[in-house]
Structure formats: structure tokens, C-alpha cells
A and B are shown apart, each in its own frame.
Chain A
């Protein structure tokens, strides 16, 4: 809902050195983009684009989540040897709610991260943004609190509560000091169990969301992936905007929100992780008291449509008449979060596009100065999410930079990886991993996501050995299989009058859109 403020948010985050966002964000593995949907301003590994108050070098800070050392219990002076997922316990309440408890005492805080197994894919066609709106309204009025009272109560304890939806699922998250555990949990349960969706709040949030989309369109970087997903999946499945667009948000009615909530927000359809400074026995008791009251009910399963990779070439040019720089994405459908090749892909992509010395960034930034940054990522979701190469350059060099990106991709296929590149990527990924599982918030989001995806602690415990186990042969296979050369989707946001002639050559099928036209890409028959 704060799309247009992405730049500001980034600046605040950087300045205050918050290493993680407060908004519940599905876990991701270092080196591979891994969120539920590509959200405005939430791009991993994009260079930070600060305002004039602070200018950075725009490195791709790895912001993934992952493991922590097995040294809980506090206060040991010993040095950690092996990284391990901290012990955590899974409890299924009688009503079907899955609860994961992870004790961690590094700071006196509690983090809650939850998943409700229905997201944007469960939105009726034409009402994209319904899951996201439903989540956004959880705190906007309950049986005992108005939206203002809820805000007053969570703010008073210095805490936070956020909820949103991606394509695969809706998520909620909260954080508060451990001295306020009772109040914090009660607020989470109030939002989750007792929302009333007041009509006035529904209208308010929907109006804000529509304007949020418009504000985001003032920054190409904030919306290019919405266009890309829409165009790549031709407006179906992951190609439907989970946050909605100017058209779909206007069609959402309160009745549909209530129905979405009643269908999907049930204990059996929900996983909730609580991590932080607590005594597990006491916490379990509290949770049973508070969340055990949620009546059991069956939820319909959400139909997930897996999309195969797209055949052929196509190009969408979104006209932003005042652009001095063209933003472009090139890619195809990638892999799912549980793909057996995921670790090898992560290693290859570190060489190709995810780190600063990647082939893409070396060519487009370091060697030629064409851009502030060039990167590539795989968006890891339940079903195959997009693979994308991304960069931006001034209008005149649009063709040159795109040619170069394609050349680098070709070079990856022709030359493969050297032993040195492979070894460097492995060291890099292993070295950058531990800080991604440093806090209780990171861990809560990680374990809840693993539970949703059916992954286990070996994602963390065997991380190093899996990385080490990637052979040159595996890398070669992964390049051939997952880095498409011929079948490519191109999306550009830029000044059409200057760049259209330059980009004709990339695809026979060409489409065009004005950025101010409502929606992103709803698909063609």
C-alpha cells in the first residue's frame, strides 16, 4: 500500500540500519530471489536508489534469510562451529492451527510470522488485490477495537503488526518487546480471529491502494516487475497482480472480502511461527489459551496453475514520456522454491547475475559504465516463478545495454563456468548466509515458509554441504536448462519516442502500453 514511498522507505531503512523489513516477507535464500510476488520497492539485490541526502555505491546487499548458529541458550563464550537451524517445536492445536515455536534470547523481543494458505491466486478473476485487501483490513476494525484503537494499542507498546498477500499465500507478522507478550499476542489474535471489515475502512483502504498503484507508476523501477509478470504469464496465474491494479481494486466489494476471510482464514489453513525471548512451555500455554478459541473449519484448497516456460520471443514497451533512462527486464519462467536444482541455480546465478562481481554487473556497470547496476534473479515461489535479468541505462544506450546483457547470457552458455568462478561463488554464498538468519524475525519467517513449502531444516543445516556439492557438470546442466537463450520475454519502461526503433529487433511480437493507462498487463486471448 505504500508503493510510491519505496524510495523513502529504502532511505529510512538504510539510515537506521534496520537489517530487515518489518513487513512480513517470505523467506528467501541468499542468491536467489524468493518472494511471493515481485512487489514494488521490495526488490532484492537492486542497487539502493537513495535520495540526495544519501548516495550509496549500490551494491547488491544480500537480504535473504537463513540460519543461525546453534548457540542458543545464551551467553556462551565458545565460538560457533557449525551453522544450524536453532531448535524449534511444532505444535498442532486441536482446531488445526499449526504453531512453530523457536526460543531465542538475543534481545528481549518476540517476532510472529504467519501464513494463511490463500493469496492472490485465490482472487476471483477481475478482482485482483482481494487477498491483499483482506489482509490489509485485518487491523482496521475488530469486534472490540476500531482501526484507531488497534493502531493506538500496538503503537503504545512500540510494536508492529502488518499483513499482506502475495500470489501463493497471505501473510501476517508482528513484533513487540517480550515484556508485552500478553498484549502483543492478544492483538495478533484480535486481528486474525475477529476482524469486522467496517465498510468505511474498506472504502478507505481500496482508495489508498488505487492511488498507491498510481504513485508507484511515477517510478519505473517500482512497477516494471508488475508489467513483466503480467506480460510473461499473459495475465494468468502469477501474471495477475497480487496487489491489484487501478481496475481490479475498484471492483472489490466488502461482501467478497468477508467471503474471502470466512473461506480461507481458518486455523487449519494457517501456520504461525513465534520466535524470540520466551519460555517455550509458557508460550505454548498462552497460545493454546488465545488461539485455541478459533473455531475449526475447513477451507477450500486454492488451485495453483503451474506455468511452463514461454515459447518464442515477445516484447512489451511501456511508454513513460518523461523518462531519461530505460528500465528493462529480460527473462522467462524460472523454477519453483522446491526445485531440485535450486542450489545449483543459486551458485550459477551468483556467477551470472546476483552479486556485484557477477558477469552481468561486470559487463554493464564495471567495464562499460552503462548503468548503476545489472542483476538477475529467480523468484522462488510455490510454482515456477519468473527468472529475470534486470538493468537500466540512459535512453540512447538502451539497445547497447540490452545487446550486452544478451551477449553475457550467450557467453554463460558458450564458456560455462571456470573452476575459479565456481569456487568463488560457493565461498561467497556460504559467507553471506549466516547474517540472513541472525534475528528471531528472520527465523520466524523462514520456518513458517519452510512449513508452507514442505521444506525442512536441512535447507539450513545442509546449506554448506549442498553448496559444496555443486559440480561443474551440474552447473553446466543448470545453465542449459534454466538460463533460456532463445525463448525470451522483454519488458521495457522508458521513453518510446526515443527507444522504440532500437528495440524492434528483439522480438517479432511487439506490444505497447502507456504507463498512465490503468492496469499492468491483463493478458490477451
Chain B
């Protein structure tokens, strides 16, 4: 468990009339922070350029905190957070929010559950009222539980049954992890979706939704003073309780390659390769991302050049990773062209990995990767939505939102030797799990 989530002394940075002069020289995105007495931390980033606000609430609970039998519960719970509390009953939250110009969404990962509100500044107090209502007094209507079960089942059919990469991704994680709770899908197994009970939901609420387990980030047309005053009024009175029990299981080191195959009707095959890598706040985070840029980012990247452009064996190659509290996976994905054996793509990928391990990258490649990361910073920071999400992500996964502003600097510090070292340490054959989807069209008798 992350001790960094302990309560902190309230740190109130008073920022009078906000001046946001976002120039290349001396980027200034002042962030004011405050920790409420119940342990909930609030971050405020003022920007008056549009009369709108993005509000993100991060709860440090996700599918890693689940148990077999109730997999997918964090995500189902996320849906239930919109289905009625004491003041705003079933359906009310959305109706009230939209009729006041707001909209909302949420997402669940293996590690966190994040709630998003986007609204005109005139709705600020209303949003605090709504957020407090559901954190304090969520209710579970048996009828809503049943209809929402159908919604989540439909979601699963769409993103797993109806998306080959979703299906393969799920099987890959289930194979790469044998001990840690990262092994099951965020959406949960279909049979678990069918069997959750109201008791399970209540337990999840008690387990994961203490205010001390949350961080709220607000970016936009607000001042820290008004936000903190609203937070004190609406959120601070909500009592804190114990955070989720620590996830103590450590995945044992993988001692040899694992492989899996999925046969199903499909037009094209798919290939995914997963490597175990450290958690997000590891010092190797930056070197791993630089390595990923060199391999996968842009059409001049090594993998694109090799598989898509030169060998013409793949339609596309990508790399995926997700922020994680515990050691996680870094995925390589390739969409082989029709008629190309995924093994051919696999071989080309390994050759590129070996090239990275055996000789240092060029100065130009290293600089290119850093330039990509700098541009990425500006893309994240240019909207209030991007700022709220990214500041929250750094605060939650690195323990400090300021790491976001240091990102470009930290990427600059990565050396060729670092890239070569992480390539050697993490991208060996014994550490990988390989998943292929093989098209099988029984009716047409295709192979």
C-alpha cells in the first residue's frame, strides 16, 4: 500500500488574482493545494481563458483491489455512482448536471477509479453538492442494479466480444499474471458480472471510498479560495475511514516465455507481446518511455520502419502501457497484414529489440524521443481537461503533481546507456508473454 496517501498537514497556497502567462520561457501553471481534515486532497489550477471547469476525482481503488468472484466490481461500482444518492436520486444527477450545462464521465483502470465533470463555472457549487452527496450517501436501488448489470454486460460484449484486440488483451493479462490481481480484466469476467450482489457493492463503497482515499483536481475558471471554501463546506464534513487493505501479493518473477493462442472468426490476425516492467513511480519510467518512443512513436520509429514500411508485414505497430501502483506490463501490439503469419511479425519485433540491446541508439533518435515528449507535455497542458487529468495522474501515481512539470527535464536526463540498459533488463525472452489471434472462418473453411 502506498503510505504516501497518509493525511497531510493542510497546505494552503493562496493565489490572488491569477495570472497565467503561458509562454515558452517560464511556463507557469500555478497549482494551489489543500488537504481537508478528512484527508481528501484538493488541487486547483486556475485558468480564466474559457468560462469552464474540469473537475476530476481520483479514487485509489481499481480492479487490483478485487477478489475472484467479484471481478469487475470497481467498474460496476463506478456506474452505480451515477445511479442515485440521498439528495439526487436515480437519474437525477445526470439530469441536474446537464440542465446546468455540465456533463460527466468516469473511467476505471486496474489501479484507480476516476470521475470527471465538465461544466460552466456557474455550476461550480452544484457540482460540489452532487459530488458530496454521492460520496456521503450513495444508495443502491435493486432495480437500478439489475438494469446497470445489463449495461455493463453490453459494454463487455462491445469491447471484448466485438473487438479482437480487447479479447486478446484480456487473455494476455490473464496469462502474464498468475498471482497478482492485475490478472483479471477491469470489466470483470462475464459470470462475475452476472452475479454481483448489493452486499458486494456496499462492501466496495466502504472499502474504496473514504475521502482520504481520494484526490480532487480542478482546472479552469475558478479561484483556489472559492474552491477551498466549497470543499470545506461540502466535502470536509464527510467522515474518513480506513483505506483499502494493501494489495500484498507480489507477482513472482517470470521464468520463461508464456504463449497463448485465440482461434476465432476474423478477417485479420493479431499479435500482442507483453513484458513485465516496474510500477509507474519507478526510476526507470522515463527511460522506458524514451525507449518506447524510439521503437514506436511516429513513422520514423524503428518498429514502424521495419514492420510497416520496409518488410511490409504489418498494418500497424503500437506500444501500450498503463499507469500502475504495482509492477505491470508493457505491451507491443502488431496488426499483421492479411496472409502474414504473426510469427513473421514476432521475429521482426525481436530482432529490433535485440538491436536495441546490443548497440546504443543514435544521438538523433534520443533527441527525437525527447522532442516528442516535450510536445506531448504541451498537448496535455493546453486544455483545462488535459491539465486536470494529468496533474491528478502525476499526483496519484508519482505522489506529487509537480513531477508533471519536471517531466521534460526528467526525459532530458535519459542517456543512451539508460535506454540500452532497460532494453536488456526488461525485454528478455523469459520475461515475455506472447498472444496471437488466429482467424478461423469455419463456414468458409479458411485456415
CA distance A434 to B443 in the complex (A): 51
Task: Confirm or deny: A71 has a beta carbon within 8 angstroms of a beta carbon on chain B.
Answer: yes
Task: Confirm or deny: B281 has a beta carbon within 8 angstroms of a beta carbon on chain A.
Answer: no
| Given A211-B338, A215-B335, A52:B166 Cβ within 8 A | yes
Pairwise interchain contact A158-B374, C-beta atoms closer than 8 A: yes
Pairwise interchain contact A80-B50, C-beta atoms closer than 8 A: yes
Pairwise interchain contact A438-B101, C-beta atoms closer than 8 A: no
Min distance, Cβ B224 to any Cβ of chain A, angstroms: 14
CA distance A217 to B266 in the complex (A): 8
Task: Confirm or deny: B383 has a beta carbon within 8 angstroms of a beta carbon on chain A.
Answer: yes
Min distance, Cβ A223 to any Cβ of chain B, angstroms: 10
CA distance A500 to B123 in the complex (A): 48
Contacts of A42 in B (CB 8 A): none
Min distance, Cβ A217 to any Cβ of chain B, angstroms: 5
Pairwise interchain contact A52-B382, C-beta atoms closer than 8 A: no
Within 8 A of A (CB), among B136-170: 146-155, 157-166, 169-170
CA distance A129 to B159 in the complex (A): 28
Pairwise interchain contact A55-B186, C-beta atoms closer than 8 A: yes
CA distance A56 to B107 in the complex (A): 4
Within 8 A of B (CB), among A359-373: 362, 365-372
Pairwise interchain contact A16-B376, C-beta atoms closer than 8 A: yes
Task: Confirm or deny: B98 has a beta carbon within 8 angstroms of a beta carbon on chain A.
Answer: yes
Pairwise interchain contact A17-B164, C-beta atoms closer than 8 A: no
Pairwise interchain contact B221-A79, C-beta atoms closer than 8 A: yes
Contacts of A428 in B (CB 8 A): 98-99, 101-103
| Given A148-B300, A204-B312, A435-B383, A321:B443 Cβ within 8 A | yes
Task: Confirm or deny: A355 has a beta carbon within 8 angstroms of a beta carbon on chain B.
Answer: yes
Pairwise interchain contact A53-B378, C-beta atoms closer than 8 A: no
Min distance, Cβ A343 to any Cβ of chain B, angstroms: 17
Min distance, Cβ B360 to any Cβ of chain A, angstroms: 18
CA distance A61 to B385 in the complex (A): 12
Report the stretch among B21-29, B34-42, B424-432 that lies at the interface. B21-29
Pairwise interchain contact A59-B105, C-beta atoms closer than 8 A: yes
| Given A156-B367, A439-B383, A7:B108 Cβ within 8 A | no
Closest to B297 in A: A155
Pairwise interchain contact A106-B300, C-beta atoms closer than 8 A: no
Contacts of A158 in B (CB 8 A): 368, 371-376
Task: Confirm or deny: A157 has a beta carbon within 8 angstroms of a beta carbon on chain B.
Answer: yes
Min distance, Cβ A259 to any Cβ of chain B, angstroms: 26
Contacts of A75 in B (CB 8 A): 19-21
Pairwise interchain contact B264-A369, C-beta atoms closer than 8 A: no
Min distance, Cβ B334 to any Cβ of chain A, angstroms: 11
Interface residues as binary, B81-108 with A (CB distance below 8 Å gives 1, 0 otherwise): 0100000000100110011111111111
Pairwise interchain contact A74-B267, C-beta atoms closer than 8 A: no
Interchain CB contact (< 8 A) of B187 among A12, A55, A277, A420: A55
Interchain CB contact (< 8 A) of B151 among A105, A214, A356, A369: A369
Contacts of A362 in B (CB 8 A): 91
Pairwise interchain contact A51-B165, C-beta atoms closer than 8 A: yes
Pairwise interchain contact B98-A18, C-beta atoms closer than 8 A: no
Contacts of A424 in B (CB 8 A): 95, 98-99
Interchain CB contact (< 8 A) of A371 among B100, B110, B151, B163: B151
Closest to A427 in B: B101
Min distance, Cβ A450 to any Cβ of chain B, angstroms: 19
Report the stretch among B4-12, B315-323, B349-357 that lies at the interface. B315-323
Task: Confirm or deny: A230 has a beta carbon within 8 angstroms of a beta carbon on chain B.
Answer: no
Pairwise interchain contact A369-B316, C-beta atoms closer than 8 A: no
Q: How large is the interface on B (under 10, 10 to 19, 20 to 34, 35 or more residues)?
A: 35 or more
Residue from A14, A57, A105 with most neighbouring chain B CB atoms (10 Å): A57
Pairwise interchain contact A4-B316, C-beta atoms closer than 8 A: yes
Pairwise interchain contact B159-A49, C-beta atoms closer than 8 A: yes
Min distance, Cβ B329 to any Cβ of chain A, angstroms: 9
Pairwise interchain contact B335-A53, C-beta atoms closer than 8 A: no
Task: Confirm or deny: B299 has a beta carbon within 8 angstroms of a beta carbon on chain A.
Answer: yes
Report the stretch among A289-297, A322-330, A403-411 that lies at the interface. A322-330
| Given A4-B335, A211-B315, A432-B101, A107:B120 Cβ within 8 A | no
Pairwise interchain contact B385-A54, C-beta atoms closer than 8 A: no
CA distance A208 to B152 in the complex (A): 34
Min distance, Cβ A321 to any Cβ of chain B, angstroms: 6
CA distance A365 to B379 in the complex (A): 34
Interchain CB contact (< 8 A) of A5 among B22, B147, B300, B316: B316
Pairwise interchain contact A432-B118, C-beta atoms closer than 8 A: yes
Task: Confirm or deny: A207 has a beta carbon within 8 angstroms of a beta carbon on chain B.
Answer: yes
Contacts of B298 in A (CB 8 A): 151, 154-155
Within 8 A of A (CB), among B277-312: 297-301, 304-305, 308-309, 312
Task: Confirm or deny: A423 has a beta carbon within 8 angstroms of a beta carbon on chain B.
Answer: yes
CA distance A8 to B168 in the complex (A): 12
Pairwise interchain contact B107-A57, C-beta atoms closer than 8 A: yes
Pairwise interchain contact A392-B299, C-beta atoms closer than 8 A: no
Interchain CB contact (< 8 A) of B166 among A51, A76, A105: A51
Pairwise interchain contact A365-B24, C-beta atoms closer than 8 A: no
Task: Confirm or deny: A212 has a beta carbon within 8 angstroms of a beta carbon on chain B.
Answer: yes
CA distance A367 to B158 in the complex (A): 20
Contacts of A355 in B (CB 8 A): 98, 103
Min distance, Cβ B336 to any Cβ of chain A, angstroms: 9
CA distance A50 to B63 in the complex (A): 15
Task: Confirm or deny: B421 has a beta carbon within 8 angstroms of a beta carbon on chain A.
Answer: no
Contacts of A62 in B (CB 8 A): 103
Pairwise interchain contact B22-A107, C-beta atoms closer than 8 A: yes
| Given A7-B166, A215-B315, A366-B91, A372:B155 Cβ within 8 A | yes
Interchain CB contact (< 8 A) of B163 among A49, A71, A74, A151: A49
Within 8 A of B (CB), among A1-40: 2, 4-5, 7-8, 11-12, 14-20
Min distance, Cβ B89 to any Cβ of chain A, angstroms: 13
Pairwise interchain contact B368-A155, C-beta atoms closer than 8 A: yes
Contacts of A277 in B (CB 8 A): 24
Closest to A20 in B: B383
CA distance A38 to B98 in the complex (A): 27
Pairwise interchain contact A108-B91, C-beta atoms closer than 8 A: no
CA distance A339 to B149 in the complex (A): 41
Task: Confirm or deny: A171 has a beta carbon within 8 angstroms of a beta carbon on chain B.
Answer: no
CA distance A369 to B148 in the complex (A): 6
Contacts of B376 in A (CB 8 A): 16, 158
Task: Confirm or deny: A469 has a beta carbon within 8 angstroms of a beta carbon on chain B.
Answer: no
Residue from B153, B173, B381 with most neighbouring chain A CB atoms (10 Å): B153
Pairwise interchain contact A18-B150, C-beta atoms closer than 8 A: no
Task: Confirm or deny: A516 has a beta carbon within 8 angstroms of a beta carbon on chain B.
Answer: yes
Within 8 A of A (CB), among B254-278: 264-268
Min distance, Cβ B222 to any Cβ of chain A, angstroms: 10
Task: Confirm or deny: A83 has a beta carbon within 8 angstroms of a beta carbon on chain B.
Answer: yes
Contacts of B48 in A (CB 8 A): 69, 71, 76-80
Q: Considering the complex of A and B, which 10 residue pairs feature the smallest CB-CB distances, nearest first?
A: A431-B101, A369-B150, A369-B147, A52-B185, A158-B375, A424-B99, A158-B371, A155-B298, A108-B24, A151-B299
Additional 8 contacts, C-beta under 8 A, given A4-B268, A155-B297, A218-B163: A53-B186, A55-B107, A68-B49, A74-B21, A155-B299, A207-B337, A324-B162, A434-B51
Provide 12 A-B residue pairs closer than 8 Å at the C-beta atoms, listed in order of the A residue.
A8-B320, A12-B320, A51-B159, A52-B186, A218-B164, A277-B24, A325-B158, A356-B103, A357-B94, A434-B52, A435-B118, A438-B384
Q: Which residues of B contact A (CB under 8 A)?
A: 17-24, 48-52, 54, 72, 75, 78-79, 82, 91, 94-95, 98-110, 118-120, 123, 146-155, 157-166, 169-170, 173, 185-187, 221, 264-268, 297-301, 304-305, 308-309, 312, 315-316, 318, 320, 322, 333, 335, 337-338, 364, 367-368, 371-376, 378-386, 389-390, 393, 441, 443-444
Q: Which residues of A contact B (CB under 8 A)?
A: 2, 4-5, 7-8, 11-12, 14-20, 47, 49-59, 61-62, 68-69, 71, 74-80, 83, 105-109, 147-148, 151-152, 154-159, 175-179, 204, 207-208, 211-212, 214-215, 217-221, 277, 321-325, 355-357, 362, 365-372, 392-394, 420, 423-424, 427-428, 430-432, 434-435, 437-439, 516
